[in-house]
Structures are given as structure tokens and as C-alpha cells.
Amino acid sequence: MNEPFEWRQLDRNALLQVFAKTESTGQISGTPISDVSRVQRLPKDAVLAAFKKESGSQSFSLMGLYVDEAGTRDLFAWISTYLTNMCPLTQICRVQPLSDSVLFEKQEYRPSKLRRSSAWSGVIVGECLAQLGQEPVLRTAPLSAALATFSFPIARYQALWGKLVDVTEVVRRLQLAAGTANGRDRRLAVQRLEIVWRVLRALELDSSGVKLSPMERAIVQACEDIATSASPGGRLANTLSSVLPSTSDFGRLNELTAEERLTVFDRVLDSFLSAPPDPVYRDLRAFAVSVAAWAVGLGDPKHIQLLWPAAEETPILLVWFGLLAGLQSTAANTGEFGSFARLVERELSYSFATGDPPRADIGILEYTVYQEAEFGNLMKDLRRAQVRTLTIELMPGVTFTKAFGSEMTRATLGQGIDDGVQIGKDLLKELDEAFAELWAVRNRLWHGDKAGPQPQSDLFPTKAKDEGTIKKRRGRLGTRESQER
């Protein structure tokens, strides 16, 4: 039986002491907290810390810091001022929003189990292909691309915390982490995928506890028919023919040869492409087209190829197809799609112990603060486990990977890490020049031009603490977004 964590509320002095003697003595600084679930708010400048007793010794290790989100920015400005070598903290201990502390109340082992794991992995493979674009070759698509999808962290969340934490919270964090990658760099944005995740969660939880619109309920029903019925055609036709009349042929699916089913697919696709735009039924129509492609081989994942010409305009088609292919796990396991999906499924199934150290490059809280312009060099100098990618922990054991595009496409290889992770060389040069100019002004005012070159450690944190300086910098340089604009 693992011992529970020791919880302490730490003010900044106590935090300094903890970092100074991280795992040395049997004494822990700060105020003991007996029931962490009752801590709803923290005083200004305070954090909640979880310690784990080292087996066979009296010393304690810092496992996690839990921070009131309102005070996050100030805290990290302070840490990066006085504890420069400890940035980012995620590489030392987990840093999470205070609300996550309940997940750590007990030190426990969380198996990662998804009832519809092949459907989740199908969606991830589908999204991966959609984001890659231009008829990607499944055989050469790297696993890292699948792990960098938006759907991967959602699947991990569902497996680890799906019953404890509301999905809107993880989607919010995902959007923060995605930053401008959400929509600008990727062909599919987070918002566009949310309906797929809602449908999958409803399938995972047998529809209980998931609020669905009538259209989403129709899709869930169709998916359940496909997963359980040997001849789902009739019900599919009933569900889908109201939005795309050509899907009425689904009623005869089992009587048709594969070639005849291809003709049905072509008809459905034609009517989808020629139908006037309709934001209300857009998703149901896209789902119907993917069902038609799925029906050609009754689940054979190879038929995802049929959707490539249309996926250029409507990449979500590939995601729906991935879901459909994964509903019958035996079919999803065949061919190149299957071998790729199996790798993804393996990655999804890693279990997680709350006592494990974080494996991400940075936590979501630190990331959202440090990507701001005035912390730019922190992100630039950040050591990452893998070149060209940045892993951001959204929740314990749930990681989102950035730098998707630059890793996957030849055209963007050689460019730096994408938005929010590394500032381009030109911008850095401009920043350096601006700071040098500022430094020179400061020197003239204080020392009358006698000071030497600026010390590196002064570059960000000391000034970052001074809100006035930050505002001045903003006025001079603007935010990163305004720079991009």
C-alpha cells in the first residue's frame, strides 16, 4: 500500500526553502493540510504542495505544486526571477491548477482503459491523416503525428479522468495549449472535432452523462447500429436520408455487391458536394458520406482512400471514417490502418500512477504564462525531450504535443518550432535590439553610461516582476499575437 501524499500550503518563503533543500530532511516547510479536497482557494502568493515520503528514508520529495489560476502569472514571474534555474518547474515536479489537487488526494495507480479503444484510436488515425493532408501514405505516417493530434489527449483524458473531470475543462486547456495552432496551422481545429469527441464519449459511457443534441443522438444511434448489428443498413437509411436523400440506398446494403456499394458512395458524395452549405446539418451530412465510404467494404479501413479527394475540402470526413472503422475492432485491425491504429492504442493504454514524475516538457500553466512575449527567451531556451516537438501536460498523464506541422511536412521542415514555442530568428533579433536599447536608457539614467553589458539573468524576470516595465515593453514590442499580425 502506498503512503498518501503529505500536503502543505507554502508561501513564497517556504517555497524558496523547499527548493533549496528539495529532498533533504524529514522536515517539510509550510502549513500542513489534512484534507486537500476542502481547499477551494489559496491566499495570494501561496501554493499547495504534495510531498511523497521516500521509501526507506525520512526525506520527502516534492511531487506537485497546485496553483490558484488567478495568481499563476504572478507566481511564475516570481519563480523565473528568483529561481531562474528551476524554469520550467514541470521538469522538477508537476505544476497543475488547484482544482487538479483532488486527483492527487490519494496516491493511486490508474489503469488506462477505454471500452471503445479501437474507435478512439481510429479517430486519432483519422485526424492524423486529416491534419497531414494531400493523400498521406499510411505506411509512412509516423506515430508521433498521431500522438500530436488534438484527439489523442482527449482519449487519454477519457481513459484516465473521464469520470472525474468534466470534458469542457480539458478542452479548455487543450485550446490554451493549441494556441494559434488551433485552426491556423492545422486543417482541423479543436472546435470542429468536439462533436466527434462527444459522440465517442457517449458511445464510451453508453450515452449516460453526455449531453447530446438530436443530431448527435442520431449519429450515436447510427454508430451503435454499426457496432452491434450485422445488417445496419435499414436503420442507417432511416437516420440519414432526411439530410442526404441519396443515403436511402443504405437500406439495401446487404443485398449489394461491393461495386454496387461504391456506386452508392459516389451518389452520396455527389449530393454532399452539391448540397447548399447548411451549418446545422453539416456534421450529419459529413458523417453520412463517411458511412457510405465505410459501407463499400463494410468496415474495411482501406476504403478511407475513397474520401481523400473530398477530404481536401472537408477533412472531418477522415475522422468520422476512423471512428466507424474502429467500431468493429476486428475490421480496424486489418491492413496498414490497423497496424497504425494498434500502435496508437498501445500508447493510449499506458497506465498512470499519480506518484510518477511528469514526462512532459512543460505543464499547461507554465506554458500559457511563458509563451507571452516577455518570457520569450525562457521558451527559446527550454530543453525539450525531442527535437521539433513540445509536450505540454494538460492534466496528470494527459499530454498534448505541438509542432505537428513542422514535423510532418517537408515544406515546413527546417522552420523553427511552431507558434508559441519558439520565436522566429527575426523577432528574437528585434527583441534583443529592443532590450539592448532599454538597457542603454536604464544605464544612462542610473549610471551615466558607465555600466557594462547587461547580465543575462536580468533580461526577463526582474523586470517581469515590475508590471510597469511589462506594460512599457508591451507598448514597445506588443504581444506575440500583435507581432504576428
Partner 1 sequence: MDSKTWWRSPEDVDPDQKKLMTLPPDQPKFLLTGPPGSGKTNVLLLRAVYLIRSGFPNLRVITFGRTLTEFIKSGAEANGKIPAQQIDTHINWQYALIRDLTGKRFSPSAERLRFPDLRAELLEASKQAADTAGVGEGHYDALLVDEVQDMWREELLLMAGLTKRLFLAGDARQRIYDRNEGIKTAIDELKCPQQQLKKHYRIGRAICRAADRVLDEKGFSLETNCQYNEARLKSSVASHAHPSWDSQFDDLYERLERQLRTYPDEWIGVITPTRDALKWVAERLEKSALAKKVKAHKTFEEKADRTFDSKRPICVMTAHSAKGTEFRAVHLFAAETLTRNVRQLGFTIVTRAKTSIDVYLTGHLRPELQAAFAEERVPEFKEIFGE
User: Which residues bind to partner 1, rule: CB under 8 A?
Assistant: 230-231, 254-259, 261-263, 296-298, 302-303, 305-306, 334-335
For residue 367, give Cα distances in angstroms to 10, 40, 96, 165, 176.
Answer: 22, 23, 11, 21, 9
Nearer to partner 1, 299 or 363 (CB): 299
For the bound state, the minimum distance from the C-beta of residue 255 to partner 1, rounded and expressed in Å, comes to: 8
Q: Which is nearer to partner 1, 301 or 376 (CB)?
A: 301
**Least distance (Å) from partner 1 to the CB of residue 300?**
8
Q: Minimal distance in Å, beta carbon 297 to partner 1?
A: 8
Q: For the CB of residue 269, give the shortest distance to partner 1 in the complex, in Å.
A: 12
CB 207 → partner 1: shortest distance, Å? 28
Q: Report in angstroms how near the CB of residue 55 gets to partner 1 at its nearest.
A: 43
Task: CB nearer to partner 1: give 27 or 339.
Answer: 339
The CB-side HSE value for 2 (13 A sphere, CA atoms) comes to: 17
What cell does 385 get?
Answer: 525531450
Q: Which residue has the cell 468534466?
A: 166
Please give the Cα distance from 120 to 202 (Å, whole number): 12
Task: Give the C-alpha separation, 286 to 119, whole Å.
Answer: 17
Residue 315's closest CA among 175, 133, 185? Answer: 133
Nearer residue to partner 1 within complex by CB, 134 or 257:
257
Q: Is the CB of 24 or the CB of 229 nearer to partner 1?
A: 229
Give the relative orientation of helices 190-204 and 151-161 as an angle to the nearest 10 degrees: 30
CB of 426 to partner 1, least distance (A): 44
58 versus 229: smaller Cβ distance to partner 1 = 229
Q: C-alpha grid cell for residue 425?
A: 530568428
Backbone angles phi, psi at 338, to 5 degrees: -65, -45
Instruction: State the minimum distance, in angstroms, from the CB of residue 259 to partner 1.
Output: 5
Nearer to partner 1, 70 or 258 (CB): 258
Paired strand residues for 414 = none
- In the complex with partner 1, the residue whose CB is nearer, 98 or 253, is 253
Q: How many degrees, rounded to 5, is the angle at CA 122 between CA 120 and CA 124?
A: 70
Q: How far is the CB of 414 from partner 1 (least distance, A)?
A: 30
Distance CA 347, CA 81 (A): 37
CB atoms within 10 A of CB 134: 8
DSSP 429-460: HHHHHHHHHHHHHHHHHHHSS---SPPGGGTT
CA angle 205, 212, 230 (to 5 degrees): 60
**What is residue 396's three-state secondary structure?**
coil
By beta-carbon proximity to partner 1, the closer residue of 289 and 394 is 289
- Per DSSP, 250 falls in state G
Task: Cell numbers for 61, please give them.
Answer: 520529495
